[in-house]
Structure 1
């Protein structure tokens, strides 16, 4: 029996594959596709390699497409959805170089998360009407602030048209939407029942039903205010209205996958405290207790804005997957310090990084310098003052691991040209 996570390089984003089933009938779930270039450089060649291996094993005939049970897009940020759109675009053109037979798309589109009434759409109000037919880069020049939360909110809204395109592509390709959830939103609630995906038990640990309702209420209140003052929403006003540190995380699908006594926690860009709350709501984590999983995909590429030491104390793992190349500062040194603070370094666990540490540090330094210039250029300096110059010793991951050699010995780097599989049960044939 297979139960393996296939970790691909994805620049600043996520791109993963879940292998399950058996050697005679292998099964596959695609999980996010990374930003631009990731599909062509990493995901497509990996799918082609799998397709060739299946044909060589006489599991597929030459003309057969590669079966895929689920394509999961955790949320609509470009660094998760873009590669999947590249995939669907090729599948629709019928010139893909590899054909897929996909059963279902699992995805909560932003239109569904923030529904509006028909009369609101007709009168020019509401998310869908503002963004209908919009180019995916329509918000590229709009700036509402420099914080990570504001940038994330901007990225989410800029990706709304991408979510609509994905939904349309999936419909044209015959991919059933959220098929194990009766076509409805994928979310967690106290009465939510785990689903069986061909031998893998899937428990949804996010997003939270109560938070989605709170987001809808905020959206409706904003619409009423706009109607009352008679103004039509603009792009900048739309962005400003949804600047809230929880908004980008609300749409992230969080799944706990279980098979053969092994577990994976797949977190998208969700916030650590919300994942804990989701696990508790789903009945997978008792209050004040801990949960051990075999694989934890560390949330939001290891951003320290999404994490606290307490998360790593409550959820422990044998394998920690950090996806990020240093862009936007991720994975953050502070997050790795949280992990070190939460775990005994003598414990048996592995840290998986998708890029070499030197390359991650180069990206993190470039982001540090960029943010420093933004802070220095503000009319009103940030509360703590402008950050100091980059220090490899103070901020670098190389120095962090050099100072913690026992932790450094636990690090594995995803290769640029070889599959990186974490096999929990039988080893997947490459």
Structure 2
């Protein structure tokens, strides 16, 4: 039996998979997500002898990793954890990218300039973790001695180097994103930002670059595309008309670097997409023989980027199908899930009744909680917004 637990993470992600072998934690939401919801659950599971097999952080974004900062700061050392044992952490930091770095020592002036980039920590809505204290995620992982990307030979997870990884006999990960090109785009974006700040020296192996990389990405601001906003905020929820919308792919380097994978456990197949962009996901699924005529079947699909318009597409929903879908967001700070995404999801012909899980009663849930639409398109919206409901079986 597999149980999926979805936590209230505001506009972010935090999922805990309960398996016979142990736990898999995917992203960690905000600090409040950890403190108010995840921590008590982990402490209870630790008391039952459970451990986290893999703690997976899909990419650097505050709604995915801020809770991890709080978690690792409180959990302490890997050998003697205060909350729960973590066997390995997956997280791409700058140290894992393949860019050139020298062994030189940067000047004091440049070090001060790099530290100024840590001001990104001040714009994070929840300030329980201060960037100026050097509390980057990478720094905490190193400080407390956790196994970090050892499944990937201490390198970045990239589909150009790792296609799948097995844990024991029953757990298999098949990777769909990112590739080396996406990671190179992320690195180039960061170097460009450093140059804009006035940094002119060579990038070295000093740990301060990991901190600067992380906090600069946390400060990245997304400028909404006008066409995208218009499609998302369409006044009517006409499924057939919305299905005709063309997708507008997310072009941000940060989301392009997001980990996405197929997780197969006990012959149950689940697709977790983080905030990955649809083009790479579609191509990888097509490489696995997914087609419109023969869509790849899953037992669960976690939609990319909270069901956003820029991270989902009509093609994706044509070449995949699932009995369960998962949308994680309160929908307040961003118009997620988008109406076109919901139309692409429910508008595909099906012989089963799809269950669409929401962890908040957002606009998307309210739109789909319509008896005529439910009967016409054969789906059921499921609200899992309190502790008694947020864990379900696969």
With the length of structure 1 as denominator, give the TM-score of the two structures: 0.68
Aligned residues of 1:76 and 1:160 also touching (Cα < 8 A) = no
Q: Report the equivalent of 1:81.
A: 65
Matches within 5 A, 1:363-378: none
Aligned residues of 2:24 and 2:52 also touching (Cα < 8 A) = yes
Aligned residues of 1:29 and 1:69 also touching (Cα < 8 A) = yes
Q: Report the equivalent of 2:181.
A: 210
Q: Report the equivalent of 2:339.
A: 333
Q: Report the equivalent of 1:368.
A: none
d(CA) in 2 for partners of 1:128 and 1:405? 58
Query: 1:50-101 deviations in whole A, cap 9, x for unaligned?
Result: 345x2xxxxx4xxxxx42111111111111101111111111299x995211
Of 54, 58, 67, the match for 2:51: 67
SS, match of residue 86 in structure 2: strand
Aligned residues of 2:77 and 2:144 also touching (Cα < 8 A) = no
d(CA) in 2 for partners of 1:123 and 1:76? 27
Matches within 5 A, 1:383-398: 397-398=365-366
Aligned residues of 2:369 and 2:381 also touching (Cα < 8 A) = no
Matches within 5 A, 1:114-263: 115=99, 117-118=101-102, 122=106, 130-131=114-115, 134-138=118-122, 165-189=136-160, 192-198=162-168, 199-216=170-187, 245-263=251-269
d(CA) in 2 for partners of 1:247 and 1:160? 22
Of 25, 31, 36, the match for 1:30: 25
Judged with a 3 Å threshold, the aligned counterparts in structure 2 of structure 1 residues 286 and 400 are, in CA distance, closer, same or farther, namely closer
Number of residue equivalences:
346
CA displacement at 1:412 relative to structure 2? 1.1
Judged with a 3 Å threshold, the aligned counterparts in structure 2 of structure 1 residues 160 and 310 are, in CA distance, closer, same or farther, namely farther
Q: CA RMSD in A?
A: 4.1
SS, match of residue 320 in structure 1: strand
Larger Rg: 1
CA displacement at 1:269 relative to structure 2? 0.7
With the length of structure 2 as denominator, give the TM-score of the two structures: 0.74
Gaps of 5+ in 1: 55-59, 61-65, 142-158, 362-395, 425-430
CA displacement at 1:124 relative to structure 2? 8.9
Aligned residues of 1:114 and 1:127 also touching (Cα < 8 A) = no
d(CA) in 1 for partners of 2:42 and 2:198? 49
Q: Report the equivalent of 1:270.
A: 276
Gaps of 5+ in 2: 202-214, 224-249
Aligned residues of 1:319 and 1:352 also touching (Cα < 8 A) = yes
Judged with a 3 Å threshold, the aligned counterparts in structure 2 of structure 1 residues 117 and 136 are, in CA distance, closer, same or farther, namely same
Q: Report the equivalent of 1:284.
A: 288
Aligned residues of 2:119 and 2:131 also touching (Cα < 8 A) = no
Of 34, 43, 58, the match for 2:38: 43
